[in-house]
Structure 1
Amino acid sequence: MSQELETLTDFYRDRSHISFPLSNTDLQSGKSHFNVNTRKYCNFKSPYNRRDFYKITLILGTGELNYGGNSIIIDKPAMLLPCPSVPYAWTSLSDNQDGYYCLFNQEFFNEHYQFDIFKRSPLFKAWSEPVIFLDDKQLSLATVYFGQMMEMAHSDYPFKYEAIRNLLCLLMHSLLVDQPDGNYTSELPASHRLLRMFDELLHQQFPLDSPAHPLTMKTPADFAGALNVHVNHLNSVIKTTTGSTTTAIIKGRVLEEARTLLQNTQWDISQVGYCLGFEEPAHFNHFFKKAMGITPLQFRQSKAKAIL
Structure 2
Amino acid sequence: MSDQLETISDYYKKVKDGKVTIFETDDFVAGTSHFNITMRKYCSSRSPYSRRDYYRVSLIIGKGKFQYGNQTITIESPSLFFPSLNIPYSWECEDVIQEGYTCLFNQEFFSGNSELQFFKKTSLFKEWSSPLVVLTEEQTELATLYFDQIYRINNSSYPFRCNSIKSNLVSVLHLALENRMEDVSMNNLPANVRLYRMFDELLNKQFPLDSPTYPLELKTASDFADHLHVHVNHLNSSVKSVTNLTTTQIIKERILEESKNLLKYTNWDIAEVGYTLGFEQPSHFNNFFKKHTDHSPLQFKKTLII
Shared fold by TM > 0.5? yes
Q: Which residue of 2 aligns with 1:31?
A: 32
Q: Deviations over 1:266-293 (max 9, x none)?
A: 2221221121111122221121111111
How far off is 1:176 after superposition? 0.9
Q: Deviations over 1:185-237 (max 9, x none)?
A: 36222222211111111011111111122111111111111111111111111
Q: Which residue of 1 aligns with 2:161?
A: 160
Number of residue pairs aligned between Structure 1 and Structure 2: 303
The 4+ residue runs of structure 1 with deviation greater than 6 A are none
How far off is 1:44 after superposition? 2.2
Q: Which residue of 1 aligns with 2:107?
A: 106
Work out the CA distance in 1 between the residues paired with 2:135 and 2:209.
36
Q: Deviations over 1:245-269 (max 9, x none)?
A: 1111101100010000111112221
- Letter aligned with residue 287 of structure 1: F
Q: Which residue of 2 aligns with 1:65?
A: 66
Ranges in structure 2 where 5+ consecutive residues have no aligned partner: none
Q: Which residue of 2 aligns with 1:8?
A: 8
Q: Report the secondary structure of 1:122's partner residue.
A: coil
Matched, 1:185 2:185: yes
> Any conservation in 1 of the 2:192–2:241 contact (CA below 8 Å)?
no
Of the structure 1 ranges 182-191 and 104-113, higher mean CA displacement relative to structure 2 is found in 182-191
How far off is 1:156 after superposition? 2.2
- Letter aligned with residue 101 of structure 2: Y
How far off is 1:147 after superposition? 0.9
> Any conservation in 1 of the 2:2–2:51 contact (CA below 8 Å)?
no
Work out the CA distance in 2 between the residues paired with 1:171 and 1:18.
27
Work out the CA distance in 2 between the residues paired with 1:254 and 1:152.
32
- Letter aligned with residue 176 of structure 1: L
Aligned pairs (5 A) from 1:1-308: 2-16=2-16, 17-20=19-22, 23-180=24-181, 182-185=182-185, 187-303=188-304, 306=305
> Any conservation in 2 of the 1:58–1:101 contact (CA below 8 Å)?
yes
Q: Report the secondary structure of 1:40's partner residue.
A: helix
Work out the CA distance in 1 between the residues paired with 2:137 and 2:241.
37
How far off is 1:20 after superposition? 4.5
> Any conservation in 2 of the 1:20–1:37 contact (CA below 8 Å)?
yes
Q: Report the secondary structure of 2:162's partner residue.
A: helix
> Any conservation in 2 of the 1:138–1:175 contact (CA below 8 Å)?
no
Work out the CA distance in 2 between the residues paired with 1:154 and 1:284.
39
Work out the CA distance in 2 between the residues paired with 1:273 and 1:170.
34
Q: Report the secondary structure of 1:14's partner residue.
A: helix
Work out the CA distance in 1 between the residues paired with 2:28 and 2:292.
16
Work out the CA distance in 2 between the residues paired with 1:138 and 1:130.
17
- Letter aligned with residue 18 of structure 1: V
Work out the CA distance in 1 between the residues paired with 2:183 and 2:202.
20
> Any conservation in 2 of the 1:29–1:292 contact (CA below 8 Å)?
no
Ranges in structure 1 where 5+ consecutive residues have no aligned partner: none
> Any conservation in 1 of the 2:129–2:183 contact (CA below 8 Å)?
no
> Identical aligned pairs, as a percentage?
48
